[in-house]
Amino acid sequence: MAEVTLSIVIVTYNARDLIDRCLAPIIVAALPQVEVVVWDNASQDGTIEHVIRTYPGVRAIASPENLGFARANNAAIATCSGELIVLLNPDAFIADLGDLIAMADYLGRHNEIAAVGPRLLNADDSHQVGDAGWRASLTSVIGHYLFLHRLFAGFPALYLTNPALLRRDAVDVDWICGACLVTRRDVVDAVGGLDGDIFLYGEDVEWGERCRDRGYRLVYLPQYEVLHLQGGRSGRKARCFSRPRPWMPWPIR
């Protein structure tokens, strides 16, 4: 049997209407080196029962309570066999498993990189603002509201929106949206998992801050695209969670 090298973690909460579309391209590929772990946050719509019944090759774990996005992902990661780990929302749909494998391969070749992520798309195929960005600073906040980041590729920004950057092969950022994020086990061991005290929004931003503070890079790979419906269904209240907000537990720098 082939050794598992890539683990895909999907945390669900009442995602029965989404999970088939999320799993389809992964299951069709049926690669022995890829494992799929579905952690269900006490859904009430039969999500986990459907996964168990329909996808015998998927490791389905039913939590007796809703742990939230961060704690559930951390618990699921602890069960994974792969060195490379993908966090994938049930409302994030890849076109081809090969895209995840390509991103994981890129990460595997760069030990200085903690995580990579794709460009996220809205349902109308437009770029989903909030899929990656930089830490909040006085300059970036002012630039964001004056739209300077859209005019100048090198201007500090909160979110990745500049068209010139979106056309590049790779862009260094400070955080990547957890709707689709590829990392390594050794990074999680070194930096720690997502902050379980943050139940709603921003776990991925805070985690990116820790990675950067430890000297790691985070890289956005816009050549790979994933449709993200922003419906949540991971045990928290929806939207692309990586929007820095005034009440988040870290200062503007």
For residue 3, what pLDDT is reported?
81
pLDDT at 247 over 90: no
Nearest to 4 by CA among 38, 33, 30: 33
Q: How far apart are the first and last CA of the chain?
A: 50
- 153-208 pLDDT tens trace: 666 566 777 777 788 899 999 999 999 999 999 999 999 999 988 755 688 999 99
Tell me the average pLDDT across 95-105. Answer: 95
Lowest mean pLDDT, pick from 105-109, 181-185, 188-192, 246-250:
246-250
Q: Are 178 and 90 in contact (CB under 8 A)?
A: no
For residue 165, what pLDDT is reported?
78
Give the Cα separation of 220 and 117 in Å (integer).
5
Q: What is the DSSP letter of 139?
A: H
What domains appear along the chain, each with residue ranges and CATH number?
6-228 (3.90.550.10)
Nearest to 117 by CA among 224, 232, 250: 224
In the chain, where does DSSP find H-type helix?
19-29, 47-54, 68-78, 97-108, 138-145, 148-151, 163-166, 185-191, 203-213
Confidence of residue 143 (pLDDT cuts 50, 70, 90): low
Q: What is the DSSP letter of 111?
A: T
- The whole-model pTM stands at 0.88
pLDDT at 250 over 50: no
Residue 183: exposed, middle, or buried by beta-carbon count in 10 A (0-12, 13-18, 19+)? buried
Cα dihedral across residues 71, 159, 249, 189: positive or negative:
positive
pLDDT at 214 over 80: yes
Angle at 232 between CA 226 and CA 236, to 5 degrees: 140
pLDDT at 142 over 90: no
How many secondary structure helices (H) and strands (E) does the chain include? 9, 11
Distance of CA 120 to the CA centre of its chain: 10
pLDDT at 4 over 50: yes
Nearest to 217 by CA among 186, 180, 249, 171: 171
- 33-67 pLDDT tens trace: 999 999 999 999 999 999 999 999 999 999 999 99
Nearest to 12 by CA among 89, 105, 99, 121: 89
Instruction: With H, G, I as helix, E, B as strand and everything else as coil, classify residue 19.
Output: helix
The mean predicted confidence, pLDDT, of the chain is 86
For residue 92, what pLDDT is reported?
98
Q: Are 224 and 119 in contact (CB under 8 A)?
A: yes
